[in-house]
Every structure is written in structure tokens, then in C-alpha cells.
Amino acid sequence: MARYIDEILQPGERVLYSTNAHWIFYFPAIMAWIVALALFILSRQVTVDWLFLLCLGGAGLVALAALYWTIKGWFHRFTTETDVTNLRVVHKTGFIQRRTFEMALDKVESVDVNQTILGRILNYGDVTINGVGEGRETIRTIASPLAFRSSITTR
């Protein structure tokens, strides 16, 4: 499947910067996989039959939840695109129900970046693009938000 940005580029327009949703979307899945592995290892250590079955069943249920969160995180990252071209900013989310945001670079008034402490350490954050007469759009949890802001503001 082609990228959304490749389908909508105008003649003479070129992509200057691309980013995506940060891998932090996988965090619930990572934690669940760790818990599932710990329960599985614990089930091998116990000698009581009912406790063995409880740990093994718990590991299976947590692994199913972890698989769901892994697929959900992957699908979110797969269906999200954020690009800056020489003419505009483009953000697309969704697969069947698509939501897009586009703003011409000459209509961008300011770009704000919000990062938590963990966001600064892992290099992710929220970027709010304020447009002249076009409102405001916030793009949440993207990778490298400062580089994204710089690609918009430097011309």
C-alpha cells in the first residue's frame, strides 16, 4: 500500500520531513508481555497443582491482552503519517475511517511542543500547530517533536 503523502503530492512539491507515532504506544503491550513471561516462569516453579494452573491460566490471559495491545499499537503506527513538504504540513490517521489535517506552511503562525519528562528522555511529545485563520491542530505522541517543529519553522 502506498503512503498517503505520495498519493497527494502536487507537482513540484517534495517531502522535507516525515515522522510517525512514537514507539511508546507499545508500552502497555511490553509490560503485559513481561507479566505474562513472569507468570509463566512462576508456573514452572510452583509444585501445587492448583497454583500451577492458576499461574499458567493467568499467563495465557495476560499474553492474549499483550497480543491485542501489540496489534493495536502496530496498527496505530502503521496507519498514522505525519509529513512536512515544501508547501504544507500533512497529518493522516486511520485506515477505513480516515482523518486528515493539512495546513499550508505560509498559514502556520506558531508551533508549540509539549513534552513530559519521560517524553524528553524518550524523544516524543505533542505538537500543536496554530494557523492564521485556520485554527489549531494538536498532533499527539509523535517521535522527534523538536525536529518536526524545526522542519516547519525553518524555511
CA-based end-to-end distance of the chain: 31
Burial of 79 (0-12, 13-18, 19+ CB in 10 A): middle
Burial of 40 (0-12, 13-18, 19+ CB in 10 A): middle
For the chain, the 3-state helix, strand and coil shares in percent, each to the nearest 5, are 50, 30, 20
- pLDDT tens, 79-132? 999 999 999 999 999 988 999 999 999 999 999 999 999 999 999 999 999 998
pLDDT score, position 119: 95
Closest CA to 16 of 82, 80, 78: 82
Task: Give, as one character, the DSSP assignment of residue 134.
Answer: T
Mean pLDDT of 12-25: 92
- pLDDT tens, 53-86? 999 999 999 999 999 999 999 999 999 999 999 9
- Position 155 pLDDT exceeds 80: no
* Amino acid identity for residue 84 in this structure: V
Which residues touch 34 (CB under 8 Å, ≥6 apart)?
none
* Amino acid identity for residue 100 in this structure: T
pLDDT score, position 58: 95
Percent of the chain residues topping a pLDDT of 70: 98
